């Protein structure tokens, strides 16, 4: 146990706790033990216990009778995986129900172990030849269509001027739409239609699954022409996303999908803050784009929640590249100006099933989106 806590690398986390002050103090002390030795006092020598157990750095009131506790953990509790990072941040404490992890930071030495996005916003924009405006992404859905039908839909998306296309997260390897046939047909249709229009479009194939299946799917998707990967870390865990992101043999941008992650944030007093789940964790794990629900879309996301995710995606974070935020939730063209004004130009807008009902047809409906995306406003211009 060499060095003092101030001299070691450390992980610092912030939590929202119930008041009054005495209750919050006791809970903060409980977190210090739960997230380290997970035992009562007195089982270790006092000198060793003071080194291992977390340290409360600050406790202050916030709003609604809640308190914010800032707790520092020694860095050598971590091995460098996302698994043990999450376990130290909010493992046993997550079982208590009234503790919310709102943010965390790492000192430079710890942060250097995280590679982050391989491509990042700048390179994604370079690949698409779109330097400034928000990006438009179409979704291949609904589940039940054949691979041929999805490929035809993909071609219409490209004709409508989308920049990106992603599989729906429900597309896996169904018998009526096998993985290899779907990826091959869609990749070919997107590549051919992109050549005709004279501008590239990236295709993110969904590869989530068990570890062995995911590696196999990612490798095959690349060979079949996919130019990106879609992964749902709520289903697979964040470490597999990190592994695929750092695989130089794949060398493909990765989009993180939020399915099942909502279970971590959909609580008024407990769980993890949206900024952590949709912003910081995907970025640390290597997601080049991270998808999450837009405010006003029927999901439990406020405007401030969305802004907090954007901040975690694009703020300076050691040598890590920024991650592109992507918002979805049955967004129509009438919402684009508001989303651009509030969230800024470093943004992907996801469009899916709603536009498929437009009587003008998919390409025409998408061109309306595209024209609005290209309009300048006070913040995105």
Which whole number is the average pLDDT over 82-95? 94
CA atoms within 13 A on the CB side of 112: 5
Whether 294 shows a pLDDT value over 70: the answer reads yes
Q: Which residues contact 61 (CB under 8 A, 6 or more apart)?
A: 19, 21, 67, 68
pLDDT for position 93: 92
The pLDDT-based confidence of 381 (bands split at 50, 70, 90) is very low
pLDDT for position 169: 96
C-alpha distance across the termini of the chain, in Å = 53
pLDDT for position 38: 85
The strand pairing partners of 67, in sequence order, are 17, 61
The strand pairing partners of 93, in sequence order, are none
User: How many residues in the chain?
Assistant: 381
> What gap in Å lies between CA 228 and CA 226, rounded to an integer?
6
In contact, 230 and 252? CB cutoff 8 Å: no
Q: For domain 120-374, is the CATH number 3.20.20.110? A: yes
In contact, 103 and 14? CB cutoff 8 Å: yes
Q: What is the mean pLDDT of the chain?
A: 92
Whether 68 shows a pLDDT value over 90: the answer reads yes
pLDDT for position 123: 98
Whether 378 shows a pLDDT value over 50: the answer reads no
Whether 200 shows a pLDDT value over 60: the answer reads yes
Percent of the chain topping pLDDT 90: 82
> What gap in Å lies between CA 208 and CA 233, rounded to an integer?
8
Pairing type for strands 100-106 and 55-61 reads unpaired
Please give the C-alpha separations between residue 251 and each of 12, 213, 243, 285, 316, in angstroms, as whole numbers: 32, 18, 12, 15, 24
Which whole number is the average pLDDT over 318-333? 94
Percent of the chain topping pLDDT 70: 97
The pLDDT-based confidence of 376 (bands split at 50, 70, 90) is low
CB-CB neighbours of 341 under 10 Å? 12
Q: Report cis status (omega within 30 of 0) of the bond before 214.
A: no
pLDDT for position 51: 84
> What gap in Å lies between CA 97 and CA 86, rounded to an integer?
16
pLDDT for position 258: 97
- CATH domain 10-111 topology: Alpha-Beta Plaits (3.30.70)
Whether 102 shows a pLDDT value over 90: the answer reads yes
Q: Report cis status (omega within 30 of 0) of the bond before 142.
A: yes
Residue limits of CATH 3.20.20.110 in the chain? 120-374
Question: Going edge to edge, which strands form the sheet with 271-272?
Answer: 55-61, 66-74, 10-18, 100-106, 271-272
Residue limits of CATH 3.30.70.150 in the chain? 10-111
Residue, of 360 and 139, whose pLDDT is higher: 139
The predicted-structure confidence for 234-247, as pLDDT tens digits, reads as follows 999 999 999 999 99
In 3-state terms, what secondary structure has residue 237?
coil
pLDDT for position 298: 86
């Amino acid at each position: 146990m060499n060095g003092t806590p101030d001299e070691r690398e450390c992980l610092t986390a912030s939590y929202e706790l119930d008041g009054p002050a005495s209750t919050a103090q006791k809970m903060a002390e409980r977190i210090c033990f739960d997230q380290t030795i997970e035992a009562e006092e007195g089982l270790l020598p006092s000198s060793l216990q003071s080194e291992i157990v977390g340290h409360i750095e600050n406790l202050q009131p916030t709003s609604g009778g809640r308190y914010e506790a800032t707790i520092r953990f020694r860095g050598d509790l971590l091995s460098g995986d996302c698994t043990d990072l999450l376990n130290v941040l909010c493992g046993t404490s997550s079982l208590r129900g009234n503790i919310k992890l709102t943010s965390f930071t790492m000192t430079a030495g710890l942060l250097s172990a995280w590679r982050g996005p391989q491509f990042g916003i700048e390179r994604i924009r370079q690949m698409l030849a779109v330097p400034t405006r928000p990006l438009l992404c179409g979704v291949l859905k609904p589940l039940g269509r054949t691979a041929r039908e999805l490929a035809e839909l993909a071609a219409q998306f490209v004709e409508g001027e989308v920049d990106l296309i992603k599989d729906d997260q429900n597309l896996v390897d169904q018998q009526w739409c096998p993985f290899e046939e779907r990826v091959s047909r869609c990749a070919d249709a997107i590549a051919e239609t992109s050549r005709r229009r004279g501008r590239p479009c990236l295709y993110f194939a969904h590869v989530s699954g068990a570890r062995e299946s995911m590696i196999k799917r990612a490798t095959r998707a690349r060979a079949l022409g996919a130019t990106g990967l879609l992964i749902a870390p709520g289903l697979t865990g964040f470490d597999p996303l990190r592994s695929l992101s750092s695989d130089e043999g794949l060398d493909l941008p990765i989009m993180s999908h939020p399915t099942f992650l909502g279970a971590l944030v959909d609580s008024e007093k407990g769980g993890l803050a949206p900024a952590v789940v949709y912003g910081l964790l995907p970025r640390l794990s290597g997601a080049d784009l991270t998808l999450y629900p837009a405010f006003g879309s029927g999901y439990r996301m406020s405007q401030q929640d969305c802004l907090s995710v954007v901040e975690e995606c694009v703020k300076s974070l050691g040598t890590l590249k920024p991650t592109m935020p992507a918002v979805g939730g049955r967004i129509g063209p009438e919402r684009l100006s508001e989303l651009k004004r509030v969230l800024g130009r470093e943004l992907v807008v996801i469009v899916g099933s709603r536009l498929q009902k437009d009587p003008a047809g998919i390409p025409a409906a998408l061109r309306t989106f595209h024209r609005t995306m290209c309009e300048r406003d006070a913040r995105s211009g």
